[in-house]
Amino acid sequence: MTARILVVDDIPANVKLLEVRLRAEYFEVLTAHGGAEALEQCENGAVDVVLLDVMMPEMDGFEVCRRLKADPATAHIPVVMVTALDQASDRVRGLQAGADDFLTKPVDDLQLMTRVKNLVRLKSLTDELRLRAATTRDIGIAAMLRGAEETDGRPLALLVEPDAAAARRFRRLVGTACDVEVVADPQAALFFAAEKGCDCVVVATGPSEHDPLRVVSQLRALERTRFVPIMLIVGEGEEGRILRGLELGINDYLVRPLDGNELVVRLRGQFRRKRYNDALRASVSQTLEFAVTDPLTGLHNRAYLDTHLKALVARAADRGTALSVMIADIDRFKAINDTHGHDAGDAVLREFAARLRARIRGIDLVCRYGGEEFVVVMPETPAGLAGIVAERVRGAVAERPFPLPGGGEIAVTVSLGVASLTPPGDAVAALMKRADSALYEAKNGGRNRVVAAAA
């Protein structure tokens, strides 16, 4: 998991200790020895998570966190406070300042790594949304952050808890911070979350015939609940279950006995993050629908690709990660139009787009490049894997005929060219040229095939 972690502490020995532990997990580590230096690094550099000491001279960690969260340019960066303070009131103060998590020294390796990896995963999702929204040039980040705080209506937490007494205590602790829907049966809870929606799902462990982590897995598998925040409530000694839950995608956890103030602050943090990311998705969806979407296929158009590909290539180069491009061209498409009419050609394009979209990941960028040509940009995908994806697309097109308007079918094939980023200094134009040359070779070689450009 490649990410940049900023360690902020005025004591060099503490910085070195965290740096060694993080580098052992293959994180890139940046360091700062004071609040002002930390703020500057966050504003000027690509920081994925901040590990922030509280007790520092001149500017303490609480103030650093407040400033980071108040600035729209840095508000999305997760902050973990690391301190010797061990009172619940200190944790609550840190969370109220905007911290995403709070660890007490000496920091347990399991807690440190699971918290950091979880926040890196969430930051990656937010980065992707921000990048796509920024491409539209109409993101309005500051307004979204205000909207996340000012949204009308009380948030709703769904509690999956078979113990009625524990559920009543949870309601008392939460108080008026949010509405609570308690569902004892995990399958009923899954249905409620998918059909009626909620702002956070809280899953409690305990003596039960149901595995609570199966609920987490199912929530993350469903399209409607994939991005809903999930909190896990566990008992003492359930570190293994916590670790497994974080691997499955929980956003946070609390250990019994619960502190009411900390529970409320952590819930509010999940509500705030969900509404912020919901606003980002809405901005992307609404703006792109008109400005950068091909009306026939529903895919992004070339205008979007030309802008967004530059950002994706720059990010891959900055982080040292792989990136591949695939260009697909429907074989003998002009003959389809000439023989069956343009309505048939349009139907083929729509069906091709649907099959293409079904064979790629959500983070991949798929665009109609023009006419019968399509481009797929695959972040974090090396050349070998990109070739496998291209072959999968080719097979999905050739495996069964395409339906035509008014009845009938037609056999369709596609040729594909693949190229991958070759650092250092590879240019977007050169990358696209290699993919286009590979496509040309596939066409000349008999069509209905995949050709990967030589590195």
Would you name the residues annotated as active-site residues? 372
What is the distance between the alpha carbons of residues 129 and 133, in angstroms, rounded to a whole number? 6
Closest CA to 3 of 24, 29, 21, 42: 29
What is the distance between the alpha carbons of residues 406 and 235, in angstroms, rounded to a whole number? 62
What tokens were used for 20?
């060694």
Closest CA to 200 of 222, 223, 221, 216: 216
Residues forming a β-bridge with 231: 202, 252
Residues forming a β-bridge with 157: 180, 200
Contact 252, 281 (CB under 8 A): no
What tokens were used for 282?
């809405």
Beta sheet of 156-160, edge-to-edge order: 179-183, 156-160, 200-204, 230-234, 252-255
Q: What is the DSSP letter of 254?
A: E
What is the distance between the alpha carbons of residues 398 and 391, in angstroms, rounded to a whole number? 11
Q: What is the DSSP letter of 224?
A: G
Contact 144, 279 (CB under 8 A): yes
Phi-psi region of 82 (alpha: psi -120 to 50; beta: other; left: phi over 0): beta
What is the distance between the alpha carbons of residues 279 and 266, in angstroms, rounded to a whole number? 20
What is the distance between the alpha carbons of residues 251 and 242, in angstroms, rounded to a whole number? 11
What is the distance between the alpha carbons of residues 287 and 82, in angstroms, rounded to a whole number? 40
Residues 9-43: b if buried by 16+ CB within 10 A, e if exposed? bbeeebbebbbebbeeeebebbbbbbbebbbebbe
Give the 3-state secondary structure of residue 126: helix
